[in-house]
Structure 1
Amino acid sequence: MANKSPDSVSMLITEPRTVPWLSVVFGFGPMLPFVIGATLAWLDFKPGRDAWFDLVIFWAASICTFLAGVRRGVSFRTMGGPTSSQIITMLWLFSAGSGALVLWWLGLPSLTLVLLAAAFASIGILDPIAAQSGEAPLFFARLRPVQMVLPVVSLLSLLPIVQTLK
């Protein structure tokens, strides 16, 4: 129930610790292109390998910047206003996603993969901490560590085939 006045809103929120089914669908669904793309990059040879590799990089950068927006969006509803850790995490994820595209454009695929893997690994570590401190939904503590294994492993699995690209 919300109390409203012309200048503010007061809300009481009850939040489950269990992961809602919709968050399972929208949490793991976008992780499938990492696994599928990395697998096809390994199985496919020129010129298909390059295309699958490019698509995984583009997808990873897109999801990374999307998750920066998620962190910023959650910060709007944090009691007491956005925290410095929320803003720093948002800036890190946005910079990592954008920076990965620049590194890819500069022809540095290994650095691109490592940067993106580090960004996704950091989500798996930082989101459970944020959940415990009230800076993210409680279910992020259970969802993110498991969810982020998929992009991290997929991205790092592409490192050995970097030399076979273009």
Structure 2
Amino acid sequence: MTRPRIDTPDKTPLLSLLLGYGPALVILVAGALALADVPWALTFGMLWSSAILIFLAGVVRGLSFFTEGGPRLSQVAVMGVRFGCGLLALILPPVLAAPVLAVGYLSSLVYDPFAARSGAAPRYFVKLRPPQIGIALVGLVLLFVAAGGT
């Protein structure tokens, strides 16, 4: 295991706050709108959630290129889980897609803080990811309920 990256800040940069929380808040708002029976909200929320998860797969893969000693098997595996969940959610009905997406987002909640502590991700992921992914997961629960899940 390597040490935390000293080339990344401990405090989350402003742009990372905006680009981190912004997309998660979109999932939450889409879920609330879907519960309020806004016609396009469920479809939009599911597509947005899938796109962001596929993006998060790319983030892990991109970070692996800068990992001391080269990409780790865990990085490739997590990238595959996120990409696969995001892609699968695009073809499933929303009531099935939401739990699949939740698995992908949970991988970020569990893996990213660990990766930040071990030098495979920016140090600020330790503080950024739990609330960011928590917001997205609440939105996914709302989307699941709006889709008819119980």
Structure 2 gaps of 5+ residues are: none
Name the residue aligned to 2:58: 69
* Whole-angstrom CA distance in 1 between matches of 2:58 and 2:7: 23
SS at match of 1:148: helix
Of 1, 25, 31, which residue of structure 1 is paired with 2:18? Answer: 25
Structure with larger Rg: 1
Q: How does 1:9-158 map to 2 (within 5 A)?
A: 14-44=7-37, 48-49=38-39, 51-104=40-93, 109-158=94-143
TM-score by length of structure 1 reads 0.82
Letter in 2 for 1:78: T
Name the residue aligned to 1:3: none
- Where relative contact order (Cα < 8 A, 6+ residues apart) is larger, the structure is 2
Equivalent pairs, count? 145
Structure 1 gaps of 5+ residues are: 1-11
TM-score by length of structure 2 reads 0.90
| Cα displacement string for residues 128-151 of structure 1 (whole angstroms, at most 9, x for unaligned residues) | 011111111111111001100111
- Whether contact under 8 Å (2:102, 2:140) holds in the other structure is yes
- Whether contact under 8 Å (2:113, 2:125) holds in the other structure is yes
SS at match of 2:79: helix
**Shift of residue 13 of structure 1?**
5.5
- Whether contact under 8 Å (1:118, 1:152) holds in the other structure is no
Kindly report the root-mean-square deviation, in angstroms, between the aligned alpha carbons of the 2 structures.
1.7
| Cα displacement string for residues 90-121 of structure 1 (whole angstroms, at most 9, x for unaligned residues) | 111000100111213xxxx2221101112112
* Whole-angstrom CA distance in 2 between matches of 1:79 and 1:88: 17
Percent of paired sites with the same residue: 39
Letter in 2 for 1:81: G
